[in-house]
Amino acid sequence: MSENAVRELPENYGLRHTLDLNKNVKLAIILNLASLVCFVVFGVLFYWLLSLIRPGLIFGGEFLSSGLLVSESAWLQFLVIVLVYLGMIVLHEAVHGIFFWVYTRERPKFGFKGLYAYAGAPDWYLGKTPYLVVGTAPLVLISFAGFAAMLLVPPEWVFPILLFITLNASGAVGDIYAFFWIVPKPAGILVRDFGDRMQVFSPGEPPGGGESTGE
């Protein structure tokens, strides 16, 4: 069996856990509230880090006196925020999709469910480590890329980028939850991701049909 991904589930593997936010409304609400809290937390954290890497921009007043923050057009501010948010969703799911492709060499599935987008690989079973990489890639890569960009761009571009990476980080709450849900599980598990739900398989006889979260 490939340690990265397989298309066929090994015979001795059975379903052990299911995470389905469509059926676990309470958890979905908690994660949405956590996302709002994380928006503030990550926003403060990223602003503080920005003050360390470009202190002249923050303490010199350029950040607060440039670009979108002082625009007299509320429509322009609203348009930029909407475009940043939509761009974040597209890039976030694209990064998930790229890493699904890295491990499966097959085009992932993209879709929308209510107000959120998703990427998945429902025809594949990924090993634990590859799945954790897929899940955390958008948070890690977009955050680092955003900070690298803020080192170089003119002051008027800093706020949109800061907003972009903050929205991306707060929008990754589900990915963070899935990361900590997967980490304690055994190394030999296989994960099947449908985009809006995931299943965990492992060897041996299922204990009473397997644990289910959200069913």
What are the tens digits of pLDDT across the range 8-18? 999 899 999 99
pLDDT at 74 over 50: yes
What are the tens digits of pLDDT across the range 85-134? 999 999 999 999 999 999 999 999 998 876 678 899 999 999 999 999 99
Average pLDDT value for residue range 164-172: 96
Residues 6+ apart with CB under 8 A from 33: none
- Biggest alpha carbon–alpha carbon distance for the chain: 65
- Write down the domain spans for the chain: 5-203
Q: How many residues does the chain have?
A: 215
pLDDT at 172 over 80: yes
For the chain, the first-to-last Cα distance in angstroms comes to 29
Q: What is the mean pLDDT of the chain?
A: 87
Average pLDDT value for residue range 10-36: 92
DSSP state of 132: H
**With contact defined as beta carbons under 8 Å apart, do 121 and 104 qualify?**
yes
Q: With cut-offs at 50, 70 and 90, classify the pLDDT of residue 1.
A: very low
pLDDT at 215 over 50: no
DSSP state of 161: H
Instruction: Characterize 17-37 residue by residue with b for buried, 16 or more Cβ atoms within 10 angstroms of its Cβ, and e for exposed.
Output: bbbbbeebeebbeebeebbee
Which pLDDT score is estimated for 78? 82
